[in-house]
Structure 1
Amino acid sequence: MKLYRYLTGPDDANFCLRVSEALNNGWELHGGPTLAFDGQRIIAGQAVVKEAPGQFSRDIDLSQF
């Protein structure tokens, strides 16, 4: 099955670590990063995708992959 996640958060070292962790767990970048301003800080976003065994279900916990 194909899985998709969109990681978001303040544009800081913690966000970069979350994306790095996903990459090291087999996720791949999907497109470029996005940036938005919420009136106080810059919010970053990055889509990631992964091919995983099994059948898709809406009950899947994507953080477990």
Structure 2
Amino acid sequence: MKAYRYLTGPDDSAFCHRVTDMLNKGWALHGSPTLTFDPVQGRVICGQAITKDVDGVDYSPEMKLSEL
């Protein structure tokens, strides 16, 4: 099974740590990161798609992708 997640958050070190944590858990970057500006909050928001191949698991909408 190939799992997909899209991580989002403020453009700060915490976001980079979240992505780094997922990479160290076997996830891989998928495409380029995205950036947008939130004028209400006055900050930049990042997004990064990640994927992971998981052997021996069948996809189910009930599964928690963050736990793979």
Q: Same fold (TM over 0.5)?
A: yes
| Structure 1 residue ranges (4+ consecutive) displaced by more than 2 angstroms after TM superposition | none
For residues 12-34 of structure 1, the C-alpha deviation after alignment (integer angstroms, 9 at most, x for no partner) is 00000000000000000000100
* Distance in 2 (alpha carbons) for counterparts of 1:34 and 1:4: 16
* Distance in 2 (alpha carbons) for counterparts of 1:60 and 1:11: 28
TM-score of the pair, normalised by structure 1: 0.97
Larger-gyration structure (1/2)? 2
Q: What SS does the aligned partner of 2:66 have?
A: helix
- The alpha-carbon deviation at position 63 of structure 1 amounts to 1.0
Give the structure 2 partner of residue 42 of structure 1. Answer: 44
Give the structure 2 partner of residue 59 of structure 1. Answer: 62
Please provide the CA RMSD for this pair: 0.5
TM-score of the pair, normalised by structure 2: 0.93
* Distance in 1 (alpha carbons) for counterparts of 2:33 and 2:63: 24
Q: Structure 1 unaligned segments of length 5 or more: list them.
A: none
Aligned residues: 65
For residues 6-65 of structure 1, the C-alpha deviation after alignment (integer angstroms, 9 at most, x for no partner) is 000000000000000000000000001000001010000000000013100000101101
